[in-house]
Chain A
Amino acid sequence: MTPTRVLIDRSGLDALIATLAAQGYRVLGPTLGRDAIVLGDVAGTDDLPVGWTDEQEAGHYRLRRRDDAALFGYVLGPHSFKRFLYPPRQRLWSVSRGSGPDLEVRAEPHDDRPLAFLGVRPCEIAAMRIQERVLTGGEFPDPSYADRYGRAFVVAVQCTEPGGTCFCASMRTGPRAGTDCDLALTELLGPDRHDLLVEVRTPRGEQIVAGLPAREATDADVATANEALARAEASMGRSLDTEGIVELLERNIESPAWGKVADRCLACANCTSVCPTCFCTTVEDTTDLTGQHAERWRRWDSCFNRDFSFIAGSLIRHSTRSRYRQWMTHKLSAWHRQFGTSGCVGCGRCITWCPVGIDITHEVDSIRNHERSASTFHTVGGRYR
């Protein structure tokens, strides 16, 4: 039997990618874009951003050269795997007038090729599970998501160097990958070694690993990986205080903090677009000029867009204050009541990719501080006691 933990080197990773491709998977992973690490097709390790890293802060991202040849020496770029599981635009069905009096309706077929995701960070794995719960766990499951996610092969990379806006430790989604992946890799990079520890998590993962050029991992290798992960957990760029957060936000829907963040918020929808769990969409119907053919498309929408709140003939969220509040209270509070988990996985993308650097962790602190100062005012005998 294949051991559940093996070591591979860069050629072993190339073999893994080649094996997945040979089995019919479209392999997607991190690649070097012009200005950021973006997700794309990966045919081998040469396609990975080898020797690159990223510098991230609120509203700030820069690609930087590393002084080593790390394969996964960076964290998350603006793309999440949501792009592939739940595409920005997707045709749902089309309809044509036939030669007779009947309409011909065609459902959209599923993709031919299954997807394999390489280099998936633990927070992203958590996000996929959350979207699965949201999109397929209810009365009307989304067949396209169920098909894509159900067939996807997931190769996780556990995080040993968190980024400046990462806070997965606060959300308990990382830096270790749980069981919702087929293989979990940890890059072990030192002065005289460059290995990947591969932990097998599923039978099909085991099957793939069996064919790779691999060495058995020693206890010392595992200990090295665990130490790196423990260091990562203690060195997150951000933290979010989740103590009583469901009730905190429910109690503070009229907090002055919402008005303050609305002064800065552009309501541009960047945060919801880069969020790996935001799932809101709208549908659009198209017709051709002749009126012989029509299509229904689904595209990403956002609670920050005005028309998203158009219900029963009118808009219910005119102000940016109400839109930001809707997003954050749903993400961090109402999501628990609706789906049983937080909607935030601590990936930090909404912080990095906000054009004006709004930081969700600071906004939670701001609400706490406003509540605290208000209650202090009450207890020391303010006028409105």
Chain B
Amino acid sequence: MPPITTAPVAETRVRTAKPKLAVWKFASCDGCQLSLLDCEDELLTVVGAVDIAFFPEATSTVLPGPYDVSLVEGSITTPHDATRIQEIRAQSKVLVAIGACATAGGIQSLRNYADVKEFTSYVYASPQYISTLSSSTAIADHVPVDFELRGCPISKQQLLELLNAYLHGRAPTLPNHSVCVECKSRGIVCTMVSHATPCLGPVTHAGCGALCPAHARGCYGCFGPKEAANAMSLGSWFTDALKVPDLDVQRAFRSFNADAAVFAEESKRHGE
């Protein structure tokens, strides 16, 4: 079919300068921010489209704020960080929390179920110098967040989609449905139904492309709870139908997203 031509369209967005991008780190492993460097094929295009104003993992250049977009990795675990995130929020037009630490406390939020003082006494020779909070919490528990990218780590495709959508002034296509939708779209056979392998997919936010079920393993819930997640029904199925011991169910719900409310609540139903 011949190309259809239309009348010229006006630019949807007039920009005088490239947007300033900053990348911040809190309690985390750096894996999520490295997803940006992992963009490889698209990295040069990204760098061409934005000004990297603050990104210590990539460049020693530091430009002063305010920043158009701040990507924030990590959870809040110290009094100093609780103050620092307020300053970053004040300097950022758009603040995006990236990864399980920033959106649900991360694996380190296991401390929320234990005594942090006891931990520090085991780990540090002089624990009196350690200044830490008793909990690990998400960025949104401290400041308003404009968007959350889920995952441990985040998906670089999702990060690119978010930046892409921002640059072109459109809504990002980042669905909040279950991992099951990704499995079924790819034609992956359900691990729970076909071999009784417990899977958090039905209560977990999509975004990984069903990585683990594609290899016949159950979903570990890296992307945290999906919208309207019915963790109680799934947890009951694990114990009643699949005969998974309570402690294992508790561990399944307490991992990378241990401070996500829905997972936290279900984990408590399976023992303390």
Q: Which residue of A lies closest to B44 (CB)?
A: A289
Contact A101 B203 (CB under 8 A): no
Chain B interface residue count, CB cutoff 8 Å, equals 53
Q: Which residue of B lies closest to A40 (CB)?
A: B187
- Cβ of A107 to closest chain B Cβ, rounded Å: 5
Contact A269 B181 (CB under 8 A): yes
Q: Is A284 an interface residue (CB 8 A)?
A: yes
Q: Which residue of B lies closest to A266 (CB)?
A: B202
Contact (A35, B178) CB under 8 Å given A59-B193, A286-B173: no
The answer for the CA separation of A265 and B168 in the assembled complex, in Å, is 38
Q: Which residue of A lies closest to B178 (CB)?
A: A268
B167 — which chain A residues lie within 8 A by C-beta?
289, 291
A178 — which chain B residues lie within 8 A by C-beta?
none
Chain A interface size, under 10 / 10 to 19 / 20 to 34 / 35 or more = 35 or more
A274 — which chain B residues lie within 8 A by C-beta?
184
Quick one: which of B3, B161, B175 contacts A106, CB cutoff 8 A? Answer: B3
Contact B185 A289 (CB under 8 A): no
Contact A270 B184 (CB under 8 A): yes
A77 — which chain B residues lie within 8 A by C-beta?
189
The answer for the CA separation of A318 and B42 in the assembled complex, in Å, is 37
Q: Is B113 an interface residue (CB 8 A)?
A: no
Quick one: which of B191, B193, B233 contacts A264, CB cutoff 8 A? Answer: B233
Q: Which residue of A lies closest to B233 (CB)?
A: A264
Interface flags for B129-165 (1: CB within 8 Å of A; 0: not) read 0000000000000000000000000000000110111
Of B5-13, B20-28, B117-125, the one with at least 4 CB within 8 A of chain A: B5-13
Contact (A307, B195) CB under 8 Å given A266-B202, A266-B233, A291-B168: no
Q: Is B46 an interface residue (CB 8 A)?
A: yes
A320 — which chain B residues lie within 8 A by C-beta?
228, 230
B186 — which chain A residues lie within 8 A by C-beta?
88
Contact A78 B190 (CB under 8 A): yes
Q: Which residue of A lies closest to B49 (CB)?
A: A289
Contact B184 A273 (CB under 8 A): yes
Contact B187 A38 (CB under 8 A): yes
A357 — which chain B residues lie within 8 A by C-beta?
237, 241
Q: Is B14 an interface residue (CB 8 A)?
A: no
Contact (A104, B233) CB under 8 Å given A34-B216, A78-B190: no
- Cβ of A259 to closest chain B Cβ, rounded Å: 13
- Cβ of B267 to closest chain A Cβ, rounded Å: 17
Most chain B Cβ neighbours within 10 Å, of A36, A101, A291: A291
B192 — which chain A residues lie within 8 A by C-beta?
59, 355
Q: Is A102 an interface residue (CB 8 A)?
A: yes
Quick one: which of A79, A265, A288 contacts B187, CB cutoff 8 A? Answer: A79
The answer for the CA separation of A352 and B191 in the assembled complex, in Å, is 13
Q: Is A302 an interface residue (CB 8 A)?
A: yes
Contact A61 B184 (CB under 8 A): no
The answer for the CA separation of A289 and B157 in the assembled complex, in Å, is 12
Contact B176 A307 (CB under 8 A): yes
In residues 208-230 of chain B, which contact A (Cβ within 8 Å)? 216, 226-230
In residues 47-97 of chain B, which contact A (Cβ within 8 Å)? 49
Q: Is B17 an interface residue (CB 8 A)?
A: no
What would 30 A/B residue contacts be, using CB atoms closer than 8 Å? A35-B194, A38-B187, A38-B189, A59-B237, A78-B184, A78-B193, A79-B187, A83-B187, A88-B185, A102-B5, A102-B7, A106-B1, A107-B1, A264-B230, A266-B233, A268-B178, A268-B226, A269-B181, A273-B184, A274-B184, A287-B170, A291-B168, A300-B184, A305-B181, A306-B176, A320-B230, A355-B193, A355-B202, A356-B233, A356-B237
